[in-house]
Structure 1
Amino acid sequence: MADAYPSVAGVAAAASAFARFHPRQCTLREIGRSREGRPLHLLSYGRGRRNVLVVAGPHSDERVGSATALRLAERVAADPWLHARADATWHFLLCLDPDGTVRSEEGPAVRRTPAAHFRHSYRPPADEQPEWAPSVRDPADQLPESRVLIELIDELRPFLQCSLHGNDLGGSWIQLTRDLPGLAEPLGKLSAERDVPVQTGTYDALYWTVSGPGVYVMPEPGRPAQFDSLPEDVNRSTWIQPHAYGGMTALFEVPMWASGKVADTDPHPDPARALHHLATLLRHQSAQVTMLLDQVRPLLPPPGTDGPRSGRPPADWARPASGVPGERATLLRIAEDLTGICPQIADDWDRLHPSPVPLTRAHLTALDIAARRISLRATGTLLRLLGSLPDAVLLPGERLPATARTRVRLQCERQLTRWSDDLAAGHALAWVPVPDQVDLQSETVLATFRLLNEE
């Protein structure tokens, strides 16, 4: 396997070939379409009565999952203990958000630098992420991808749903909607064999119950699951849907770049000072991105002169921002949301001391990464927005000449490079080859399946 993520089209072609090679045990079907009309493919293997659902590509900038799904299909087909003798059928939703993932395919196809990653990856707002959208959108206004996933869960009634994620910086960890004692041991062993640290402190699961190193269990209803500033509600997400049928969901995180600091379980010597420093850093970087955003807005064509990339009018689900229609509206809203939420997150961190969770060096490392990542994502989004405008010509109704766009673009590029270099140096980042990411994630899924079968 090459040290590169496969494309959405490449994954579909590989799955088609796999299904043709295993005609008796395997099916490949289209179970719906995305907002832009791309097919959502489900690859199924086995004839058992108990269903496992594997969801790849829930976040469009986390591309390891589709490759993992294909690896898992191969592993299941080679081992009857994983299907026939376990009375199980495995179902692989090959990419939940193909529209966003295709956008993240832009840029270098092989190993990227952190700067190139944040420059080219694409991550939509929470209400356009199919796993999270049900928790923040009106029930009558759900994304088609969310509806497909919910209907699939209702159809299969899986005893295990595996959501395949990939954090850009850090280590490996698992989030569970129900506890599975003993899972930390295989996670630690599999991670160590691949030189990947187990992340013992996370931004995502700071308030979750620790079942073992790197394994986090969703808190009981009524207890906080995340920071107040975040709009998502895990109890209304698609992660909870299998509970209606006695099932559970496990989220598997593997990093693109590893940082050993996320595994440091030593108590932080001065968490109050560190939290204040991070809140200050976040506010400072947010102010810098806001200044760049203020320079970008006048460069955009006025409303009515720009349509979506496809040339079609926006669909009903589109929510134009600042009066700019189509794809540029979405990019502008992403940048505005990221800069707008920073002061709220900084306030959360100011209030985190004294913390209900004993803060370790790993926790503060995770928060430092999160702070820097928000500003990098916002700056990368501004570059994507500027990249949609040509340099050589003036657009109809354009307010400023192309030279102004070039100047602002260079400012964004320099800022992105400087912040990416600071992040890489400060956390001693080491690239995890894609085959190792896939191997670790797939083997951790299988370890979870085996452990659950032993209960």
Structure 2
Amino acid sequence: MADAYPSVAGVAAAASAFARFHPRLCTLREIGQSREGRPLHVLSYGRGRRNVLVVAGPHSDERIGSATALRLAERVAADPWLHARADATWHFLLCLDPDGTVRSEEGPAVRRTPAAHFRHSYRPPADEQPEWAPSIRAADDQLPESQALIDLIDELQPFLQCSLHGNDLGGSWIQLTRDLPGLAEPLGKLSAERDVPVQTGTYDALYWTVSGPGVYVMPGPGRPAQFDSLPEDVNRSTWIRPHAYGGMTALFEVPMWASRKVADTDPHPDPARALAGLATLLRRQSDRTSVLLEQVRPLLPDGGAAPAHRPFAAKAGGPGERATLLRIVENLTAICPQVADEWERLHPSPVPLSRAHLTALDIAARRISLRTTGTLLRLLDCVAADALPAERLPGSAQSRVRQQCERQLAEWADELTVGHDLAWVPVSDQVGLQSETVLAAFRLLTEG
């Protein structure tokens, strides 16, 4: 098996073959289409009355979920305890954001370096991410992918929804919309077997209740669930939809690159100083990406003044694509000073800050700038597609800006890699860890 993620097309082909091999208990259907007309496939296995919904590909730069969904289908088919004897049917939404995921397939097909990952992966603005969009967009302006998922949840009324995520660097952790006592033990065991650290401090769940090492439970009403600078609202996301039917959602994170520092539970000796340093880092890198953006902007047709909310054009490099990429860069650049201000106010913190917490914040800060620079290079790819040959020659304005962006991306990626002592987690280990923790959560719910 190649140490690589499967493509959207490859996953669909594998699911079709799987359904043909299991005709009695398995079906493959299309529940809708993406904004660009790609099918949204659901693979179902079993005839039980209780439904489990597994959602892969909620973020287009987190590609592990589709591979995990296929592995889970194989595990379920091989074990009657997981379907017939549990009176359960499993449903696998194979990729929630195929349009974005196809774009993240660009670049090296096999194991990448962190620099290559941020250079080629694609992550849309929050209001174009199907899992989060319902919490940001108006009710009458939902993405077709979001509406398809909402309709699927209403149809199945799952007692468990599993959202499959893959953080680019860090460790393994789980977020729950309702507590599931005992889940930390299998998470720790399964992670240790694959030499993956359990992340005991996260940017995503800093304010969430800790149920056990690496397991976080959504705070109750009136308590903060995330930083104010983030536009998403978990209470209005698709994670909460199963609650209407007595169900819950579990979000499973596994890393591409592991960093031991995210498991360090020791109290940080000087969190105020560390937070001030991270705020300075954010502002400095934001200033740098702002300079790069202003050098790219004159190269865009009309300065990039295409309609800001147009979906991607069918033609790569078209005005809709350029506008979306420009909006991503502008949003990421603008959010850094807001995040810096918020982090400076984090001390004294309502949460005792460990070394793991500060490590997670450091990773988050550096990730923002790496995503920004990678997206700038993707935007320059669009410019190059329409440029005259002379404009692409060495020494041209386009070539000079590209070289600056490439050098900056490489520099920041090296700082991240060395500073956090990153170690690649083979795709097979990512799949094994994620699929087995999903099954552990299922067993706790059905056998506990």
> TM tier, shorter chain?
over 0.9
Mark the runs of 5 or more structure 2 residues left unpaired by the alignment: none
Which letter maps to 2:371?
A: R
Change (3 A) 1:225 1:392: closer
Contact 1:264 1:362 in 2 (8 A): yes
Contact 2:103 2:121 in 1 (8 A): yes
Listed one character per residue, the Cα deviations across residues 120-160 of structure 1 (whole Å, up to 9, x for unaligned) are 00000000000100000000100000000000000000000
Contact 2:306 2:323 in 1 (8 A): no
User: What's the counterpart of residue 374 of structure 2?
Assistant: 380
1:428 paired to 2:421: yes
Listed one character per residue, the Cα deviations across residues 27-57 of structure 1 (whole Å, up to 9, x for unaligned) are 0000000000000000000000000000000
Q: Given the alignment, which residue of 330, 335, 341 partners 1:336? A: 330
User: What's the counterpart of residue 317 of structure 1?
Assistant: none
Structure 1 CA distance for aligned equivalents of residues 70 and 105 of structure 2: 18
User: What's the counterpart of residue 357 of structure 1?
Assistant: 351
Change (3 A) 1:377 1:224: same
User: What's the counterpart of residue 261 of structure 1?
Assistant: 261
User: What's the counterpart of residue 125 of structure 2?
Assistant: 125
Structure 2 CA distance for aligned equivalents of residues 206 and 86 of structure 1: 35
Number of positions where the alignment pairs a residue of Structure 1 with one of Structure 2: 443
1:416 paired to 2:409: yes
Structure 2 CA distance for aligned equivalents of residues 383 and 219 of structure 1: 38
Structure 1 CA distance for aligned equivalents of residues 305 and 219 of structure 2: 47
**SS at 1:424's partner residue?**
helix
Q: How far 1:454 moved relative to its partner?
A: 2.4
Contact 2:306 2:320 in 1 (8 A): no
Structure 2 CA distance for aligned equivalents of residues 216 and 333 of structure 1: 32
1:310 paired to 2:314: yes
Q: How far 1:325 moved relative to its partner?
A: 3.5
Structure 2 CA distance for aligned equivalents of residues 149 and 392 of structure 1: 36
Change (3 A) 1:388 1:84: same
Q: How far 1:390 moved relative to its partner?
A: 2.2
**SS at 1:255's partner residue?**
strand
Contact 2:171 2:262 in 1 (8 A): yes
Structure 2 CA distance for aligned equivalents of residues 151 and 403 of structure 1: 51
RMSD: 2.0
Contact 1:394 1:402 in 2 (8 A): no
* Comparing 257-266 and 402-411, the one that deviates more: 402-411
User: What's the counterpart of residue 59 of structure 1?
Assistant: 59
Structure 1 CA distance for aligned equivalents of residues 297 and 215 of structure 2: 43
Listed one character per residue, the Cα deviations across residues 45-94 of structure 1 (whole Å, up to 9, x for unaligned) are 00000000000000000000000000000000000000000000000000
Q: How far 1:310 moved relative to its partner?
A: 1.6
Which letter maps to 1:439?
A: G
**SS at 1:235's partner residue?**
helix
State the identity %. Answer: 84
User: What's the counterpart of residue 174 of structure 1?
Assistant: 174
Q: How far 1:392 moved relative to its partner?
A: 9.2
Structure 2 CA distance for aligned equivalents of residues 47 and 154 of structure 1: 18
Structure 1 CA distance for aligned equivalents of residues 197 and 133 of structure 2: 31
**SS at 1:23's partner residue?**
coil
Which letter maps to 2:200?
A: T
Listed one character per residue, the Cα deviations across residues 3-45 of structure 1 (whole Å, up to 9, x for unaligned) are 0000000000000000000000000000000000000000000
Listed one character per residue, the Cα deviations across residues 167-224 of structure 1 (whole Å, up to 9, x for unaligned) are 0000000000000000000000000000000000000000000000000000001100
User: What's the counterpart of residue 214 of structure 2?
Assistant: 214
Listed one character per residue, the Cα deviations across residues 220-245 of structure 1 (whole Å, up to 9, x for unaligned) are 01100000100000000000000000
Structure 1 CA distance for aligned equivalents of residues 2 and 354 of structure 2: 37
Q: How far 1:391 moved relative to its partner?
A: 7.5
Structure 1 CA distance for aligned equivalents of residues 145 and 313 of structure 2: 20
**SS at 1:273's partner residue?**
helix
Which letter maps to 2:324?
A: T
User: What's the counterpart of residue 454 of structure 1?
Assistant: 447
**SS at 2:89's partner residue?**
strand
Contact 1:190 1:444 in 2 (8 A): yes
